[in-house]
Amino acid sequence: MNTVLRVLRPLCFLLLCGSLLLTSCLTAAEERAILKSALLLTEVLPQIPFKPLDTLGNPMRQERTTYGGDDPALYGDYYLPEGAGPYGAILIYLGIASPADDPYAQALVRGLARQGVVVLIHQSSRMEAGIIDPIEVEGIVQAVRHLRDRPEVDRERIGILGFSVGAGLALRAAADSRVRDDVAFVHSFGGYFDAASVLSAVTTEQVRVHGRAEPWTPDPLAASLFQNALLATVPSAAERAQLHAALNGDGEPPATLSRRGRTLLALYANRDPRRTAQILADDPMLARWLAEISPAAVLHDVRARLYIAHDHADAFLPYSESLDLAAAAREHTTVVFRSFVLFAHLYPTNDADQFIFLREVWNLYWHVVAVLEEVA
């Protein structure tokens, strides 16, 4: 711990002092973004033991809201700075099986709200239960519309911050004609471009990076979550249970299989990424489900600026997905893309040595500055 503190204290000092010096030649929005980013990093990085926003931050309040119409699975928590505003606003959508009270998410949300940003954490009990449903896109659209109509919100400064699976669904929503002109930016953190290629990566343990096949081993938890999401598309509960056992080596598959059951067995038996598309072609409904949760088919309709961050060694969603996302998005919008080795999927780690840690925090700092300029 003493070694860590010897590194972090000068780092934080340099960040804060450098921020103050840089403000002398920048616009007001840039000044605010630079200062707020330095403070926000002290809040969200658990390696930094002191949290200045606990004493320096502005008051905020929290309130629960619903906006899903007849869909009881959808609700959200607002984090509102004191005062009338108008403030820039960020809609946060977490990944599958990620609760809103996650300590890292709470640090981020409170760090933003205490610095004058309206935050809405959009939540879905389906996603928290590990169920990925294309209907989630409609929920995000409704959340954006609800956020847009808040009197405290500046409608010109609304963005979406999506994490993991939530990032892919958020991009689908940002392409919707009802809100695409209301979303100034979308941030994809550890997200994906094409769910079918994620499926191929999980089942074949291979990805394509710059046209070359590379091995990729999914984290066991990620593999389990993705498998459960696929099994949830099997209509019969009895068949789901038998397939789950068979796919995990705990039993034999059912004697009589549905088309979906046959597809899943074929996918998990396959080790050749080139065959994944052929297997999916025999199950058009599954292929359609994968397309409906992917940004790939609708990315050309996204008008928002796109920020992308991804852990280079991510074992939950492959880094190659963000490479593909950035390449496709650059054809029609502004893209800021940074890769890191500081995270394990979404969470900061202590694995890096001192030099790499300092370099990565500096890289992260300027990434955060770019995003906060959008709402500052």
258 and 354 share a domain?
no
205 and 185 share a domain?
no
What is the domain-level CATH number for residue 144? Answer: 3.40.50.1820
298 and 172 share a domain?
yes
Tell me the pLDDT band of 17, cut-offs 50, 70 and 90: low
Give pLDDT, residue 334: 95
pLDDT in tens, 126-159: 998 888 999 999 999 999 999 999 999 999 999 9
Give pLDDT, residue 132: 92
* 328 falls within a domain: yes
62 and 165 share a domain?
yes
83 and 202 share a domain?
no
Whether the predicted pLDDT of 291 surpasses 50: yes
Give pLDDT, residue 51: 82
What are the b/e assignments for 322-353, b being 16+ CB within 10 Å? Answer: bbbbbebbeeebebbbebbbbbbbbebeeebe
| C-alpha–C-alpha distance, residues 160 and 97, integer Å | 19
Domain end position, chosen among 268, 291, 314: 291
Q: What percent of the chain stands above pLDDT 90?
A: 65
Give pLDDT, residue 34: 85
Q: Are the CB atoms for 320 and 212 separated by under 8 Å?
A: no
Q: Report the chain's mean pLDDT, rounded to a whole number.
A: 89
167 and 314 share a domain?
yes
Give pLDDT, residue 351: 67
Least confident of 27-31, 308-312, 369-373: 27-31
Average pLDDT over residues 285-307: 96
61 and 138 share a domain?
yes
Whether the predicted pLDDT of 1 surpasses 50: no
Give pLDDT, residue 28: 64
Tell me the pLDDT band of 26, cut-offs 50, 70 and 90: low
Tell me which H or E stretch contains 39: helix 28-44
36 and 140 share a domain?
yes
- Would you tell me how many other CB atoms lie within 10 Å of the CB of residue 125? 12
* 4 falls within a domain: no
Strand order in the sheet with 185-189: 60-65, 74-81, 118-124, 87-93, 153-163, 185-189, 305-311, 335-340
pLDDT in tens, 321-346: 999 999 999 999 999 999 999 888 98
190 and 201 share a domain?
no
Domain end position, chosen among 291, 325, 353: 291
* 111 falls within a domain: yes
Who contacts 173 (Cβ-Cβ below 8 Å, separation ≥6)?
137, 140, 141, 144, 160, 179
20 and 69 share a domain?
yes
227 and 279 share a domain?
yes
Least confident of 34-43, 68-77, 185-194, 332-341: 68-77
Average pLDDT over residues 26-35: 73
Give pLDDT, residue 342: 85
Question: Could you give the number of structural domains in the chain?
Answer: 2
105 and 165 share a domain?
yes
Average pLDDT over residues 52-59: 81
* 68 falls within a domain: yes
Most confident of 49-58, 281-290, 339-348: 281-290
Q: Are the CB atoms for 309 and 188 separated by under 8 Å?
A: yes
pLDDT in tens, 69-127: 778 788 899 999 998 879 999 999 998 888 888 888 999 999 999 999 999 999 999 99
Tell me the pLDDT band of 18, cut-offs 50, 70 and 90: low
Residue 178, helix vs strand vs coil: coil
Residue 259 backbone dihedrals phi, psi, to 5 degrees: -60, -40
Whether the predicted pLDDT of 367 surpasses 50: yes
Domain end position, chosen among 256, 291, 326: 291
Whether the predicted pLDDT of 4 surpasses 50: no
Who contacts 308 (Cβ-Cβ below 8 Å, separation ≥6)?
187, 188, 191, 322, 325, 326, 329, 335, 336, 337, 338
Give the pTM. 0.89
Query: Structural domain of residue 178, as residue ranges?
Result: 9-194+294-375
Tell me the pLDDT band of 5, cut-offs 50, 70 and 90: very low
Give pLDDT, residue 230: 95
